[in-house]
Chain A
Amino acid sequence: EAQVTQNPRYLITVTGKKLTVTCSQNMNHEYMSWYRQDPGLGLRQIYYSMNVEVTDKGDVPEGYKVSRKEKRNFPLILESPSPNQTSLYFCASSLQGLGTEAFFGQGTRLTVV
């Protein structure tokens, strides 16, 4: 089954404790991206990757890091989480990026206390 898998689904952590949210897709997609969703703000892009070793900032990259060492994986790293990073996070992939359907993971609800 074609899918994008995020882990964990729920996470509560403390300020400053480094964490990684994993994202994996099994569709051999080139393009992957991370979004955060906050009430009243819709989805905002954090980072995206057009292929292995190619990443770039989205609209709200501050406080986040990503890497793309393999085509299927695109982890999101919060080196020092803060309460304003409490949000619902989505990973997405698409075959060639723009102009093609994006497949989304089920989301990771992160709470930073």
Chain B
Amino acid sequence: SQQGEEDPQALSIQEGENATMNCSYKTSINNLQWYRQNSGRGLVHLILIRSNEREKHSGRLRVTLDTSKKSSSLLITASRAADTASYFCATDTGTASKLTFGTGTRLQVTL
């Protein structure tokens, strides 16, 4: 079953703009992670945020977590063409030993 749902499903922006994508989930979580996938390739881990954290930064990435709303957002600042990819959130609840992925946001960054 899907735990996370990303929004929007697709996003197209110009290079230099910021990109924001959102993830909503259904049940309480221990951790939330964001991954990037270039077309048809393996996923690459971007950032992990724990349920007791509200915000985390890594380079041009900023992730927020609002456990009261069961949602997270990923902000990519000053986007580049190389950021073109699909982005997935993944959650774990701590009770079931698995990572559950959302359906992803496809980001297109044009020159």
Residues of A within 8 A of B (CB): 4, 31, 33, 35, 40-45, 48, 50, 56, 58-59, 88, 90, 92, 97-107, 109
How many pairs of A and B residues are in contact by the CB < 8 Å rule? 68
| A101-B97 contact given A42-B88, A90-B42, CB 8 Å threshold | no
CB distance from A2 to the nearest CB of B (A): 12
Number of interface residues of B (CB under 8 A): 26
Given contacts A43-B88, A107-B42, contact A98 B103 (CB under 8 A): no
Q: Which residues of B contact A42 (CB under 8 A)?
A: 2, 88, 101-104
Task: Give the CA-CA distance A98 to B3 in the complex, in Å.
Answer: 15
What residues of A have a CB within 8 angstroms of the CB of B33 in the complex? 101-102
The interface residues of chain A, by DSSP majority, are classed as: strand
A107 touching B41 in the complex, CB below 8 Å, given contacts A42-B88, A98-B92: yes
Which of B12-20, B43-51, B67-75, B77-85 binds A? Answer: B43-51
Q: How far apart are B80's CB and chain A's nearest CB, in angstroms? A: 22
A99 touches B50 (CB 8 A): yes
Q: Which residue of B lies closest to A40 (CB)?
A: B103
Bound Cα distance from A29 to B75, whole angstroms: 30
Q: Give the residue name and chain of the B residue nearest to A48 (CB).
A: B98
